[in-house]
Structures are given as structure tokens and as C-alpha cells.
């Protein structure tokens, strides 16, 4: 499943991933942007139409929940970014991240460990 989120949709999804099933008012109050109730409702309905969100009826309202995993969305977004801006090269993406970011020694150590583990997995 190809997952495509606008920035606003990603913000709403983040609320659902972090806080679990929520009514519109709860999503609205947890967003950093101050959006109208109807705007948040429209975003939730759009996400539901895309299949990324579903809802359970709760009284006269709805409690919305993420129907896609955050990891799946991350993986999809990274693949899209890699294909669009780095000619499909994860090596170019990685090089860009490492060269442009101010990484702490601990972050570099964890990255080296991940690379070593990955390298060990591929050995016969």
C-alpha cells in the first residue's frame, strides 16, 4: 500500500499514533497548530477515505484511530524521498544525512553498530 500524507495529515496521524483512538476535539487540542474543529474533522475524514484512519461510533460522535502503522508510513515516506531526491540511492541519502547533520558521538556509535549488525546479517 502506497502511503502519501500531507504535512497536516501527518500531524493528525502523529496524534493518533501517540495518543491512540481520539475524538475530534482531543485530536484538535493535541495539535501544535490551532485549527478549527471542522478543519480537523475534514482532515480525519480525508484520512479515512484514504484508508489510513477508521472510526468507532461513540454516542453521537466518532472515535478515530490509525489503521496504518507508523513504521509503515515512515518506510513509505523514506522510500519516496529516496526515489525522488536521491535517484533511488540509499547510499546517497545516508551520505547526505551523515554529512549535513551535527551528530553526537553517541549517535555515530549507534549508527556504526546498526551498520555492523546489518553487515553481519548479510554474511553467509
Please state the rounded mean pLDDT for residues 32-40. Answer: 96
Percent of the chain residues past pLDDT 90, beyond the cut: 73
Q: Tell me what the mean pLDDT of segment 43-70 comes to.
A: 96
> What is d(CA 123, CA 116) in angstroms, rounded to the nearest whole number?
11
Task: Determine the average pLDDT of the residues in 31-59.
Answer: 96
**Residue 102, φ and ψ in degrees, nearest 5:** -90, 90
3-state DSSP helix/strand/coil % of the chain, to nearest 5: 65, 10, 25
Residue 17: is its pLDDT beyond 70?
yes
| Domain made up of 7-66: CATH architecture | Orthogonal Bundle (1.10)
pTM value is 0.81
Average pLDDT over residues 105-109: 90
Domain residue spans of the chain: 7-66, 89-124
pLDDT value at residue 50: 96
> What pLDDT shows up at residue 124?
66
pLDDT-derived band of residue 29, with 50, 70 and 90 as boundaries? very high
Residues 101-115, mean pLDDT to the nearest whole number: 88
Q: Is the pLDDT score of 98 beyond 80? A: yes
Residue 120 reports pLDDT greater than 90: no
| Average pLDDT value for residue range 104-121 | 88
How far is the C-alpha of 47 from the C-alpha of 96, rounded, in Å? Answer: 32
Amino acid at each position: 500500500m502506497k502511503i502519501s500524507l500531507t504535512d497536516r495529515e501527518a500531524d493528525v496521524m502523529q496524534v493518533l499514533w501517540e495518543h491512540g483512538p481520539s475524538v475530534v476535539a482531543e485530536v484538535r487540542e493535541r495539535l501544535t497548530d490551532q485549527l478549527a474543529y471542522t478543519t480537523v474533522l475534514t482532515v480525519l475524514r480525508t484520512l479515512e477515505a484514504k484508508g489510513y484512519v477508521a472510526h468507532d461510533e461513540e454516542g453521537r460522535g466518532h472515535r478515530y484511530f490509525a489503521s496504518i502503522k507508523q513504521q509503515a508510513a515512515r518506510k513509505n515516506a523514506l522510500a519516496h524521498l529516496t526515489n525522488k531526491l536521491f535517484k533511488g540511492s540509499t547510499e546517497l541519502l545516508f551520505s547526505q544525512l551523515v554529512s549535513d547533520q551535527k551528530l553526537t558521538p553517541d549517535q555515530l556509535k549507534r549508527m556504526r553498530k546498526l551498520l555492523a549488525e546489518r553487515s553481519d546479517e548479510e554474511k553467509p
